[in-house]
Amino acid sequence: MKKIYLYGNWKMHMNKAETEKFFIDFKPAYEIYKNDPDLEVGVFAPFTSLWAAAEGAKNNGVIFGAENVYFEPKGAFTGEVSIPMLQEIGVTHIILGHSERRHIFNEPDDMIAKKVKAVLDANIIPVLCYGETLDERESGKTFEVMTRQLKSAISNLKPEEVRKIIYAYEPVWAIGTGKSATSEQAQEVCEWSRNLIADPKVVILYGGSVKGSNAKELLSMKDIDGALVGGASLKPDTFLEIYKAYKN
Ligand code: 13P
């Protein structure tokens, strides 16, 4: 069996108390999966909940990370958080280039590339998101857009850096809509991505309305190594149900 990455992106949900409660409920639910070598669980929390997430993650042996970071180590960048600040909390993974950063906050490709490089230099694993909007898909631009997004982030990196990144294909039209890509659509893009990245060993996740009811189909696909989950990751039972459904 392949190793499955089950990563939860909490977005702007889960304050400190909710994070603590999540891990209290998570502990007994996770007991049966705890020693499963084929599963890696990760939780990506808002900045203000990261200390609580650090504690909860340590107690459960799961990974935790941030949802964004700035690439400069310090300075006059009002409102931003640096990589050393996140290292102080023990963050090992950081989501970068999420479509909500790209589209709501207008983060350009070159800024995302700088973040990817800075995060790698700090020995933290970037979880690099990419994917097309509905308009781009319908006008036949899916692969053109993703080539730009991926190439701008990785073209100046060494092969070992490219391999360290965890990639997450997230079609924008499938995020938070309840309408997942079909397993064939997701597989097609993940396989194409693996070829573009030109490294058969890279980890590629799919994200966009993943839940218990579609997990088996999606995660059984050859080029999909796991899921980056939004809504269903906010509760331990709906989150872990995704892996349970895949295994059954
Ligand atoms: P949903 O699972 O809520 O569609 O969100 C997906 C996502 O954006 C994960 O990063």
Each residue of 120-175: pLDDT tens digit? Answer: 999 999 999 999 999 999 999 999 999 999 999 999 999 999 999 999 999 999 99
Whose structure tokens read 């108390």? 17
Average pLDDT over residues 95-105: 98
CA-to-CA distance for 27 and 48, rounded, in angstroms? 22
Q: Out of 95, 210, 213, 239, give the residue to mutate to test ligand 1, the one with the largest number of ligand atoms within 8 Å of its CB.
A: 210
Q: Which of 98, 107, 132, 136 is the catalytic position?
A: 98
The whole-number pLDDT of residue 48 equals 98
Using the predicted structure, report yes or no on whether residue 195 has a pLDDT greater than 90. Answer: yes
Mean of the per-residue pLDDT values for the chain? 97
Average pLDDT over residues 42-68: 98
Answer yes or no: 170 catalytic.
Answer: yes
Average pLDDT over residues 92-97: 98
Using the predicted structure, report yes or no on whether residue 1 has a pLDDT greater than 90. Answer: no
The whole-number pLDDT of residue 87 equals 98
Pairing of the two strands 4-9 and 93-96? unpaired
At 112, the amino acid letter reads I
Using the predicted structure, report yes or no on whether residue 80 has a pLDDT greater than 90. Answer: yes
Residue 217 has a CB neighbour count (10 Å cut-off) of 17
Q: Out of 173, 175, 242, give the residue to mutate to test ligand 1, the one with the largest number of ligand atoms within 8 Å of its CB.
A: 175
Using the predicted structure, report yes or no on whether residue 233 has a pLDDT greater than 90. Answer: yes
Q: Would you say the CB of residue 231 lies under 6 angstroms from ligand 1?
A: yes
Which residues, listed in sequence order, are joined to residue 227 by a DSSP beta bridge?
A: 6, 206
Average pLDDT over residues 101-114: 98
Q: Would you say the CB of residue 208 lies under 6 angstroms from ligand 1?
A: yes
Answer yes or no: 98 catalytic.
Answer: yes
CA-to-CA distance for 51 and 112, rounded, in angstroms? 25
CA-to-CA distance for 215 and 70, rounded, in angstroms? 33
Task: Place 41 in a pLDDT band, splitting at 50, 70 and 90.
Answer: very high
Average pLDDT over residues 68-77: 98
Contacts of 4 (CB under 8 A, 6+ apart): 38, 39, 40, 219, 225, 226, 227, 243, 246
175 in Cβ contact with 208 (< 8 Å): yes
Average pLDDT over residues 55-69: 98
Task: Place 40 in a pLDDT band, splitting at 50, 70 and 90.
Answer: very high
